């Protein structure tokens, strides 16, 4: 077997791929540009890709038997065409649930507890020059009794709900698919969730229903001082519209994802006037070390299953 990994760098240098050598010859590329893909996969039996696109043209000019997506989402693969060509496509589900939920609460607590402000206060010499033992110039708040609204109630959304409950939050959710029902949590319409929630956390996939889901027409419903978190996909929140809202009034926004990744220099989000109202991370929610190890193990199991099923 010849295995080609097209964007190995997306897994990080601290993750080993040694186990893949058990299956045959492994060739890894840190990254692959669109014009390089065809040449690199033409003789491959198995292709591993995180974000590199495998389309009809690539498929027609190769002998690929198995495509392993090093992620849960498979929108970079022409799924309809691979079916026609009898090519197996496997992803890895569930590996990042804990990691995404953890970043969600890291964002949340950063805004709630004002950690950056107080850390800077101490490091800049404020505390050592104080005449009292504490410093309360920047109010912070309890999570207890806050209303946490979750948009998208799949595995990750449910995990966030459970953690929120342990913090004493009142949890409600909006199911973007309409298929996720819960006896534990209150299901509401999107408009209600936006109006009532103190914290809104997005954990939905990007599709026709969620594209531009939050925009000028409904972002204005979010109450003052509320926190909006996006750990789904960038295009779920209209970036210009949330920028306008952030500059207009005191709400807070944290996002792990943007519409074009890596973020573009001209992104509206980088032009915000009130920088303390926004937090960024560069699409790392899925990527704790443990999550990446689980991902690699999942890919290996998919290859084993494929080989054993031949």
Residue 181 tokens, joined: 């029902």
Residue 71 tokens, joined: 């992620």
Same domain, 113 and 138: yes
The pLDDT score that the predictor gives to residue 310 is 66
Cα 51 to Cα 305: distance, rounded to the nearest angstrom = 23
Q: How many domains are there within the chain?
A: 2
Strands 252-255 and 147-151 come out as unpaired
Residue showing tokens 């609204």 = 149
Low-confidence ranges of the chain (pLDDT < 50): none
Same domain, 105 and 172: yes
How confident is the prediction for the chain on average, in pLDDT? 97
Domain membership of residue 23 as a residue range: 2-93+289-309
Among candidate residues 8, 203, 283, 294, the one labeled active-site is 283
Residue 151 tokens, joined: 């948009």
Same domain, 109 and 251: yes
Cα 48 to Cα 68: distance, rounded to the nearest angstrom = 5
Same domain, 171 and 187: yes
Q: Is 155 helix (H, G, I), strand (E, B) or coil?
A: helix
Closest CA relative to residue 234, chosen from 201, 216, 254, 256: 256
Among candidate residues 39, 191, 250, 261, the one labeled active-site is 261
Q: What angle do CA 236, 238, 240 make, to 5 degrees?
A: 160
Our answer to whether residue 245 is catalytic in this structure is no
Question: pTM, whole model, 2 decimals?
Answer: 0.95
Our answer to whether residue 233 is catalytic in this structure is yes
The pLDDT score that the predictor gives to residue 23 is 96
Residue 185 tokens, joined: 């949590």
Among candidate residues 8, 40, 203, 233, the one labeled active-site is 233
Q: What is the CATH number of the domain that holds 126?
A: 3.40.50.720
Bridge partners (DSSP) of residue 38 are none
Our answer to whether residue 261 is catalytic in this structure is yes
Residue 5 tokens, joined: 């990994």
Residue 74 tokens, joined: 């498979």
């Amino acid at each position: 077997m010849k295995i080609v990994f097209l964007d190995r760098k997306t897994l990080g240098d601290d993750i080993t791929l040694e186990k893949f050598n058990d299956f045959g010859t492994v060739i890894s590329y840190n990254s692959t540009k669109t014009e390089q893909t065809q040449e690199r996969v033409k003789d491959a039996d198995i292709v591993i890709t995180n974000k590199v696109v495998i389309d009809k043209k690539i498929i027609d000019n190769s002998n690929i038997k198995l495509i392993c997506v090093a992620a849960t989402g498979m929108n970079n693969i022409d799924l309809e065409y691979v079916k026609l060509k009898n090519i197996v496509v496997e992803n890895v589900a569930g590996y990042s649930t804990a990691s995404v939920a953890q970043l969600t609460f890291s964002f949340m607590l950063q805004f709630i507890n004002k950690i950056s402000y107080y850390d800077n206060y101490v490091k800049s010499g404020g505390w050592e020059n104080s005449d009292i033992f504490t410093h309360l110039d920047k109010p912070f708040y309890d999570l207890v009794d806050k209303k946490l609204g979750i948009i998208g109630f799949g595995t990750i959304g449910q995990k966030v709900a459970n953690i929120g409950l342990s913090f004493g939050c009142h949890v409600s959710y909006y199911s973007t698919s309409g298929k996720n029902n819960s006896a534990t949590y209150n299901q509401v319409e999107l408009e209600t969730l936006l109006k009532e929630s103190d914290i809104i956390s997005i954990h939905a996939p990007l599709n026709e229903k969620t594209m531009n889901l939050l925009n000028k027409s409904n972002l204005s419903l979010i109450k003052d001082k509320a926190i909006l978190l996006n750990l789904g996909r960038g295009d779920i929140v209209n970036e210009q519209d949330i920028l306008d809202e952030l500059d207009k009034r005191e709400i807070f926004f944290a996002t792990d994802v943007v519409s074009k990744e890596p973020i573009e220099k001209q992104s509206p989000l980088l032009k915000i006037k009130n920088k303390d109202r926004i937090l960024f991370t560069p699409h790392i929610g899925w990527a704790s070390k443990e999550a990446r190890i689980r991902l690699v193990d999942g890919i290996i199991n998919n290859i084993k299953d494929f080989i054993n099923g031949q």
